[in-house]
A = this chain, B = another copy of it.
């Protein structure tokens, strides 16, 4: 197989899938898309670098999955319906087998959400994957970070801390923890259904406390979180609370949704969790002030060991 860029692109194009609103996909200077009437466009871009956003030894299928998942997670956190994506892939060398495996993971998740891959490029360079995901949302229905109000409950979906535990336990984490690190599940359907219920939302990527801090800053409020309420998987319960709390509160890479909602929505949210078969857990409340306080089981202030993950 010839290994030029054009062959890689032709290969990607052949596998990219179709959508009725893609007038022109991969293969021209740019893609042409038919827009749904009366909706806002929602755009996010996130890059994954080898050794920073995933361990060097990660399987290509998992890298492909995760590079789209973190972007769909951002769309989910806005309450958007995903539609299209671009993929800019830097590879140290042309490797058709690696690319096929990467696309297996990337496109499996794209198909699950009806997302069409419409463009991008392949370049020579250290392994890095830059994805832009584009979706749409009804005007006024987007979940923003700046809508939290004093008295809101703070909620989180799924469980927290598995990915951070897996990272900590490398090179041989338990398989169920590793799965959460390598194959995060973007909460797209939850995001869509939270419009009209939640006041503010984001996805937990840098660690719960750091991310909830973003909501607090944008909304001009504070938050209190009770550590023993943080949802943990069965696998994570095997570890002592001191370690578990750190992974759950500051670990990051969870890609669950954290959102605030007024108390009168509790029943509706409970029903929503049941209908999605996805636990939704009330973990704290929005208060006057600024910043996020984490309280341990006796109500004492818990000092987080670090302020959240940053990429520098």
Residue numbers of A with Cβ under 8 A of B are 3-6, 8, 23-24, 27-35, 37, 39-50, 52-53, 74-75, 77-78, 80, 84, 86-88, 90, 93-94, 118-126, 128, 130, 132-135, 137, 139, 142, 144-146, 201-203, 218, 310-312
Q: Using Cβ atoms and an 8 Å threshold, which residues of chain B touch A135?
A: 30
Q: Are B30 and A42 in contact (CB under 8 A)?
A: yes
**Chain B residues, Cβ within 8 Å of A202:** 28-29
Q: For A126, list chain B residues within 8 Å (CB).
A: 125-126, 128
Q: How far is the CA of A47 from the CA of B49 in the complex (A)?
A: 14
Contact A47 B121 (CB under 8 A): yes
* Residues on B with beta carbons closer than 8 Å to the beta carbon of A37: 37
Contact call B33/A43, Cβ cutoff below 8 A? yes
**In contact, B218 and A130 (Cβ under 8 angstroms):** no
Which residues in B have their C-beta under 8 angstroms from that of A120? 45
In the complex the two chains form, what is the Cα distance from A32 to B136 in whole Å?
A: 9
Q: How far is the CA of A126 from the CA of B34 in the complex (A)?
A: 36
Residues of B within 8 A of A33 (CB): 40-43
| Nearest-neighbor residue (CB-CB) of A145 within chain B | B28
Most B CB contacts (10 A, CB to CB) among A77, A125, A145, A146 go to: A125
A130 near B47: Cβ-Cβ < 8 Å = yes
* Set of chain B residues within 8 Å of A134, measured between Cβ atoms: 43, 134
Contact B119 A44 (CB under 8 A): yes
Write out the residue numbers on chain B whose beta carbons fall within 8 Å of the beta carbon of A43: 30-31, 33, 84, 86, 118-119, 132, 134
User: Whole-angstrom distance between the alpha carbons of A3 and B121 in the complex?
Assistant: 30
Contacting residue for A35 out of B39, B50, B128, B201, CB 8 A? B39
Which chain B residue has the least Cβ–Cβ distance from A8? B312
For A46, list chain B residues within 8 Å (CB): 88, 121
